[in-house]
């Protein structure tokens, strides 16, 4: 059968993920030090795992409410009120999702009409552009630069806004660059969202992982923004719970209701044992989260220092657990650099080009890896750069 004619055209048009391509090369190789996968190296703290085990032990193996357990939505509401300083009603304004991934997907599908434009800053998380295409929207990327710390500038945003612009996607701290927005820029961006009546999808999955004592500010907390923002957050990163597949969206009731319409038919609900574990994470997870964050902070400082020492210009990212060194001085493309580094030194990092054209010339290294491996990886990279 000719399957190419059977696949929907908009899906066929989506390129394969550059990350996936790269990771297939690394599969099954025990000798490789990976700075590739964007995932904590910590196992989920024991008390959170225990809550999932208890949930199963008690025989909680059923569906939950489509919105998610009320106990979890109440905990989310309390946590979001404390951390982001925004109040959401647990009965109507919070939807528990299968990771932030699902929240992104259903928010786009719930809000977009075919052909409407979604603006996002690039380099960006690999799912954004494909998710927009799958929701029949038009993806509009705004390039960010090393000189601006890879942060979105309001002036650059304003240039791409058209009458068809409907949604603005923001991700601070950013995957893959670790970029954060200054409060001034965030205010400028918020003003533009209000002026042009844009809905903002704020993917703040790395918001706890801010360093140098700086507190994260959500765009949803700025004047006039709660009513037009879908705040998306989850448990994968700061609580080291990637495998639990749990996230949530906080938004005005009509938007949650629209997202629910899709969620109830596509997912029904998130897994109950993950939801029970998440209550424990929110209620009692702060000390362990702080310990992990302190460890990332230390590793960030080490990696940034070593990369600059070995001749790759690397800005100091304000958040997440990625660095994005500039490799243009080597004369190699990001893919060539990553492939040759893997071949010569068995160190895996992701070519910046996988995160959009403006990521070309850079390399994404995830430093959520043990300190010993980071030391070895930096020594290997130094040797590799020395041979170029
Ligand atoms: N958003 C960003 C910016 C990410 O980096 C990731 C995962 O790497 C996700 C969303 C997906 O997170 P989740 O595990 O909650 O689906």
DSSP 163-205: TTEEEEEE-SSPTTT-----HHHHHHHHHHHHHTT-EEEEE-T
Domain final residue, candidates 256, 285, 314: 285
pLDDT at 15: 81
Q: What is the pTM for the complete model shown?
A: 0.96
Residue 175 is part of a domain; what is its CATH number? 3.40.640.10
For residues 226 and 307, membership in a common domain is answered with no
For residues 15 and 142, membership in a common domain is answered with no
For residues 152 and 56, membership in a common domain is answered with yes
Domain final residue, candidates 257, 285, 313: 285
For residues 165 and 296, membership in a common domain is answered with no
For residues 73 and 109, membership in a common domain is answered with yes
For 297-350, write each residue's pLDDT tens digit: 999 999 999 999 999 999 999 999 999 999 999 999 999 999 999 999 999 999
Q: Residue 320 sits in which domain range?
A: 3-44+287-386
ipTM of predicted assembly, 2 dp: 0.99
For residues 273 and 213, membership in a common domain is answered with yes
The SS3 of residue 307 is helix
For residues 78 and 171, membership in a common domain is answered with yes
For residues 206 and 346, membership in a common domain is answered with no
CB of 275 closer than 6 angstroms to any ligand 1 atom:
no
Nearest Cα to Cα of residue 245 among 267, 218, 220, 216: 267
Mutate to test the pocket of ligand 1, among 102, 125, 244, 366 (most ligand atoms within 8 A of CB): 125
For residues 271 and 329, membership in a common domain is answered with no
CB of 247 closer than 6 angstroms to any ligand 1 atom:
yes
Residue 372 is part of a domain; what is its CATH number? 3.90.1150.10
Work out how many domains the chain is built from and give that number: 2
For 114, residues 6+ apart whose C-beta sits below 8 A from its C-beta are: 136, 137
For residues 111 and 208, membership in a common domain is answered with yes
Mutate to test the pocket of ligand 1, among 174, 175, 324, 364 (most ligand atoms within 8 A of CB): 175
For residues 24 and 87, membership in a common domain is answered with no
Handedness of CA 61, 63, 69, 70 (dihedral sign): negative
CB of 77 closer than 6 angstroms to any ligand 1 atom:
no
Percent of the chain with pLDDT over 90: 91
Domain final residue, candidates 221, 253, 285: 285
For residues 39 and 54, membership in a common domain is answered with no
For 170-195, write each residue's pLDDT tens digit: 999 999 999 999 999 999 999 999 99
């Amino acid at each position: 059968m000719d399957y190419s004619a059977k696949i929907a055209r908009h899906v066929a048009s989506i390129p394969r993920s550059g990350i996936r391509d790269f990771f297939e090369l690394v599969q099954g190789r025990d000798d490789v030090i990976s700075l590739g996968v964007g995932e904590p190296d910590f196992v989920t703290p024991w008390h959170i795992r225990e809550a999932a085990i208890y949930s199963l032990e008690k025989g909680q193996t059923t569906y939950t409410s489509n919105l998610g357990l009320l106990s979890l939505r109440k905990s989310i509401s309390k946590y979001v009120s404390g951390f982001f300083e925004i109040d959401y009603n647990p009965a109507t304004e919070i939807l528990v999702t299968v990771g932030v991934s699902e929240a992104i997907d259903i928010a786009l599908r719930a809000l977009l009409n075919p052909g409407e434009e979604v603006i996002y800053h690039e380099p960006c998380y690999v799912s954004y552009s494909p998710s927009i295409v799958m929701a029949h929207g038009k993806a509009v990327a705004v390039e960010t630069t090393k000189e601006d710390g890879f942060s979105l500038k309001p002036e650059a945003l304003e240039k791409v806004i058209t009458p068809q612009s409907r949604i603005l996607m923001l991700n601070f701290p950013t995957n893959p660059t670790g970029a954060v927005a200054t409060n001034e820029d965030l205010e400028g961006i918020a003003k533009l969202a209000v002026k042009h009546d844009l809905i903002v999808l704020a993917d703040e999955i790395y918001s706890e992982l801010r360093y140098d004592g700086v507190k994260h500010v959500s765009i949803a907390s700025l004047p006039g923004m709660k009513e037009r923002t879908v705040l998306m957050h989850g448990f994968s990163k700061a609580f080291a719970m990637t495998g639990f597949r749990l996230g949530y969206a906080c938004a005005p009731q009509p938007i949650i209701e629209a997202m629910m319409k899709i969620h109830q038919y596509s997912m029904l609900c998130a897994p109950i044992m993950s939801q029970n574990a998440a209550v424990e994470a929110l209620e009692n997870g702060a000390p362990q989260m702080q310990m992990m964050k302190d460890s990332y902070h230390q590793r960030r400082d080490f990696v940034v220092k070593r990369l600059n020492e070995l001749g790759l210009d690397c800005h100091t990212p304000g958040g997440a657990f990625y660095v994005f060194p500039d490799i243009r001085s080597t004369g190699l493309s990001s893919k060539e650099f990553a492939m040759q580094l893997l071949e010569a030194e068995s160190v895996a990092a992701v070519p910046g080009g996988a995160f959009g054209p403006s990521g070309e010339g850079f390399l994404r290294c995830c430093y959520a890896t043990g300190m010993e491996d980071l030391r070895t990886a930096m020594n290997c990279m130094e040797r590799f750069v020395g041979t170029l």
